[in-house]
C-alpha cells in the first residue's frame, strides 16, 4: 500500500519555486505509434509558463487518489522481460534522461503496447530529491538524509498540435516509501479505473 503522506511530500515540491526537476524528455506519437517528434531538455531552461504546465502534468501521477488511481506494484516476476524493463528504467534514471537512444527505445516499446484512439505524447521527468532528516515529531532538522532519484512518466492524448491533455496513464519509478527509495516497486497510474490501460501495466510488469 502507498502512504499518502509520502506522495504529498513529493507533490508539495512540484511548484516553479521549489522544484528540483533536472530534465524533461518526451516524444509525440501519431495514432499508428510512430514517432512524430522528440525533445530532451534541462528543466531549468524552460520558461516559467512551460515549467508550470509541465509540473501540472507530472504532478498528476503522485497527487492522484492513492491506492485507487495510483497503485503500488512490486517487481516480483523474475522473468527475462521483467528484468529488461527494470534495467531500462534504471538506465534512464542513472543517465538523467540524457541518453537519446535509451529514450527512443523506451518510446518505441510503449508504442508497441499502447492501445489508443488518436495521437498522443509520452513525457518523462527526472528528479533528484534531497530527502531532509525529520525528528520523531516530524519537524525538519535540515540536513539531507538521502537523495531519492526517480522518474515520472505521463502518457497524454494530444488535444492540439503538440498540446498534451490530462494524463491517462503514467508511473512513478522507483517508489518513494517511508521517505526512502524502493527500487523493487513501481507506482502505476490509470486515470480511468473502469477502463484501465492494462496492456501498459502488463508491459511494465512483464506479466
Give the integer Cα–Cα distance in Å for 3 and 98: 31
Q: Which three cell numbers stand for residue 18?
A: 521549489
pLDDT value at residue 82:
56
pLDDT, block means (10 residues), the chain with 207 residues: 95 96 98 95 97 98 96 73 82 97 96 93 97 65 79 96 95 95 94 93 85
Which range of residues forms the domain containing residue 98? 4-205
pTM above 0.75, yes or no: yes
pLDDT value at residue 162:
92
pLDDT value at residue 80:
46
pLDDT value at residue 75:
83
Domain count, the chain: 1
Amino acid at each position: 500500500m502507498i502512504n499518502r503522506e509520502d506522495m504529498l511530500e513529493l507533490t508539495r515540491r512540484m511548484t516553479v519555486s521549489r522544484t528540483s526537476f533536472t530534465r524533461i524528455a518526451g516524444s509525440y506519437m501519431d495514432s499508428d505509434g510512430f514517432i512524430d517528434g522528440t525533445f530532451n531538455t534541462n528543466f531549468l531552461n524552460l520558461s516559467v509558463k512551460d515549467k508550470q504546465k509541465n509540473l501540472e502534468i507530472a504532478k498528476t501521477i503522485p497527487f492522484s487518489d492513492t491506492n485507487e488511481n495510483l497503485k503500488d506494484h512490486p517487481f516480483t516476476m523474475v522473468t527475462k522481460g521483467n528484468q529488461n524493463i527494470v534495467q531500462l528504467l534504471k538506465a534512464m534514471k542513472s543517465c538523467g534522461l540524457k541518453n537519446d537512444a535509451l529514450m527512443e527505445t523506451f518510446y518505441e516499446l510503449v508504442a508497441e503496447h499502447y492501445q489508443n484512439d488518436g495521437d498522443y505524447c509520452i513525457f518523462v521527468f527526472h528528479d533528484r530529491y534531497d530527502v531532509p532528516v525529520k525528528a520523531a515529531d516530524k519537524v525538519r532538522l535540515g540536513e539531507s538524509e538521502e537523495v531519492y532519484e526517480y522518474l515520472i512518466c505521463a502518457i497524454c492524448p494530444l488535444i492540439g498540435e503538440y498540446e498534451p491533455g490530462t494524463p491517462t496513464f503514467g508511473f512513478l519509478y522507483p517508489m518513494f516509501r517511508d521517505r526512502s527509495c524502493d527500487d523493487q516497486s513501481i507506482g502505476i497510474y490509470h486515470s480511468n479505473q473502469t477502463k484501465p490501460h492494462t496492456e501498459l501495466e502488463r508491459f511494465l510488469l512483464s506479466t
